[in-house]
Amino acid sequence: MTTTPNHSGTSPSAINPRYLLGNEANRIFMASQTYGFLDFGRGFPTEQGGAGWLNDDGSIDPDQGIQTWITCRMTHVYAIGSLLGYPGASELVHRGVQALQGNLHDDEHGGWYPSVSWQGQPESGKSCYTHAFVVLAASSAMLAGDPDGQELLDQALEIFNRYFWDDEKGLAVDTWDSGFTRLDPYRGLNANMHSTEAFLAVADATGKEEYRERAGRIIDQVISWAENNQWRIPEHFNSDWQADLDYNQDNKADQFKPYGATPGHGIEWARLITQYALSRFDQETDRRRYIEAAEHLFARAVEDGWAADGAEGLVYTTDWQGRPVVHDRMHWTLAEALNTSSTLYAATGKATYADWYATFCSYVDHYLIDHQGGSWWHQLDADNHVIGTVWPGKSDLYHAFQSTLIPYNDPAVSIATAIKQACGQGRTDQGQAR
């Protein structure tokens, strides 16, 4: 496998400096995006409570209901905005927290509904994916000083520990019925990926290292599955954690559980694995296995996914031989590509990752950023034209917003804690630009 990007023959010195990692022009470019996102999304709260799904212009689409995971993501984003001093962010964080303690919370059975309709009807079931984001949002709200942040975090961890964490397996289960009486046999890695992110965030925010250890247990199994599958990560499993490589063959472009391998998830896991290794181990020899695994995942993802059909961009999914299945380009995959290329460069010092960062940044600027309307387009087709079959509108800010900050902060630390530490030192970026 190769991880050498194609700059169409352009030498690094000829690349626009706004795309070069560590360059002042790139830092300013990313900072402008950071605050642009905060401006774009500030109208997210609904009158009912919770975050609406944002349209192309930042208005709310009531047809999408009030999604708990979007409420959590926006609470997390504006908690970081509050730490950055963005005007009004603290009030927006508190409105998110109030919704998570109010209309989105199941007072009868505990936990959180996946969503509530515009008319107030809760969606059935209880999902790990949703609850992982509640944990993330609560930890960030606590760091931002929200008066109810700690209480929400305590509630979220209590529910997660009781119903979703399987300590025997060292993995999280996926979906319960509404009353937490029947567990669905499906097991999935998307929920475990965001559980890993949430566990690392909790460990960084609270000092409770048992959550970092949990993240490591998940990561060890993901590495094993990927290593035995040519570094393409199986996503879907049965109740015995046997991989189901044919899952969703009839619904290949599913928002959360697509068929086949997802290069964007390989890239995202690579960053989380690197973050875990850097935060968990002091010795380079102890980190090496994890960093090497992260490099393999990144290499496989970009070899399979980048310009795989002749046009720039990362395809959404491939089959198990690395052939594109869903050719659309999702914005979150490029956001994670920015995060991971910069993180691997910080961890290894290898110039190829800085080169990839420039490639990804150029693509984002040319195709994903809506320079007139704000935020990023969420879905492009194989020819990089804007579409909305899977992700209509610009639902939330989470992935793209984080990608403007992670490259300029400590790669060993979850982003909300890193920003809090950095701003405590009188800066909005931690350490030296890489």
Confidence of residue 251 (pLDDT cuts 50, 70, 90): confident
Determine the average pLDDT of the residues in 317-329. 97
Summarised one tens digit per residue, pLDDT across range 158-207 is: 999 999 999 999 999 999 999 999 999 999 999 999 999 999 999 999 99
Which residues are part of the catalytic machinery?
265, 399
Q: What are the phi and psi torsion angles at 63 (to 5°)? A: -65, -20
Q: Which structural domain range is residue 19 located in?
A: 12-424
Helix, strand or coil for residue 410? coil
Q: Is-contact 301 267, C-beta < 8 A?
A: yes
pLDDT score recorded for residue 255? 81
d(CA 135, CA 265): 20
Of 299, 338, 343, the residue nearest 434 (C-alpha)? 343
pLDDT score recorded for residue 427? 35
Summarised one tens digit per residue, pLDDT across range 380-416 is: 999 999 999 999 999 999 999 999 999 999 999 999 9
Of 389, 424, 386, 417, the residue nearest 402 (C-alpha)? 417
Q: Is-contact 75 140, C-beta < 8 A?
A: yes
Asked if the structure places residue 139 within a domain, the reply is yes
Asked if the structure places residue 384 within a domain, the reply is yes
* Residue type at 15 in one-letter notation: I
Q: According to DSSP H, which parts of 144-187 are helical?
A: 149-159
Q: Is the pLDDT of residue 426 over 50?
A: no
- Number of domains comprising the chain: 1
Q: Is the pLDDT of residue 8 over 60?
A: no
CA angle 427, 432, 434 (to 5 degrees): 130
The CATH number of the domain holding residue 352 is 1.50.10.10
- Which residues have a Cβ under 8 Å from the Cβ of 358 and sit 6 or more positions away? 5, 7, 12, 15, 19, 20, 21
Asked if the structure places residue 32 within a domain, the reply is yes
The gap between the terminal CA atoms of the chain, to the nearest Å, is: 25
pLDDT score recorded for residue 1? 60
Helix, strand or coil for residue 325? strand
Q: What is the mean pLDDT of the chain?
A: 94
Q: Is the pLDDT of residue 9 over 50?
A: no
Output the DSSP codes for 213-268: HHHHHHHHHHHHHHHTTTTPPP-EE-TT--B-TTTTTT-TT-SSS-SSB-HHHHHH
d(CA 39, CA 35): 6
d(CA 399, CA 226): 23
Q: Is the pLDDT of residue 308 over 60?
A: yes
pLDDT score recorded for residue 252? 82
* Element of type H or E holding 205: helix 189-206
Q: Is the pLDDT of residue 224 over 90?
A: yes
Percentage of residues in the chain having pLDDT higher than 90 = 92
Q: Show the tokens assigned to 14.
A: 């000829």
* Residue type at 304 in one-letter notation: D
Asked if the structure places residue 2 within a domain, the reply is no
pLDDT score recorded for residue 198? 99
pLDDT score recorded for residue 430? 33
Summarised one tens digit per residue, pLDDT across range 83-139 is: 999 999 999 999 999 999 999 999 999 999 999 999 999 999 999 999 999 999 999
Q: Angle of helix 263-280 relative to helix 284-305, nearest 10 degrees?
A: 170
Asked if the structure places residue 200 within a domain, the reply is yes
Asked if the structure places residue 247 within a domain, the reply is yes
Q: Is the pLDDT of residue 370 over 60?
A: yes
* 66-75 burial: b if 16+ Cβ within 10 Å, else e: bbbbbbbbbb
Asked if the structure places residue 4 within a domain, the reply is no
Asked if the structure places residue 3 within a domain, the reply is no
Summarised one tens digit per residue, pLDDT across range 260-298 is: 999 999 999 999 999 999 999 999 999 999 999 999 999
pLDDT score recorded for residue 5? 58
